[in-house]
Amino acid sequence: MYIFNTTFNIELKLVDQCVKEIEFNLISDLLDTGLIEKAILTEVLSQDQSGKTFSLQLFYSTKAHLTQFQKFHNQTIEQWVRAYSGKVLFFQTPMRVIGEKA
């Protein structure tokens, strides 16, 4: 299992609008690629006076799916961030799951 994590820092005045867009538009568009097993959006609980931080984790069953997403579909996330002209910052981290217990 592979995870592509995108961490967003969103200006406080835009948080509600951006979270709704991520939940109802961006995640749906990304899932429509057929490469993603599941998507999880979380809020980072540490405090930041300039904004709030969120993590979008996209899960892939194979490294090939992750690589294909990065090559052909990651621009969907980048374009969404660019639309906010510096009011939403982000960084991305691809990861491989080592183990999981429930």
pLDDT for residue 49: 80
Q: Are 56 and 22 in contact (CB under 8 A)?
A: yes
**CATH fit for domain 2-96, picks 3.40.50.620, 3.40.30.10, 2.40.160.20, 3.30.70.100:** 3.30.70.100
Q: Which residue do the tokens 């980048």 mark?
A: 78
pLDDT for residue 47: 75
Q: What is the pLDDT of residues 5-64, one digit of tens each?
A: 999 999 999 999 999 999 999 999 999 999 999 999 999 998 778 899 999 999 999 999
Q: Are 2 and 62 in contact (CB under 8 A)?
A: yes
Query: What does R_g of the chain's alpha carbons equal in angstroms?
Result: 14
pLDDT for residue 16: 97
**pTM (2 d.p.):** 0.93
pLDDT for residue 48: 77
Q: Which residues contact 63 (CB under 8 A, 6 or more apart)?
A: 2, 96
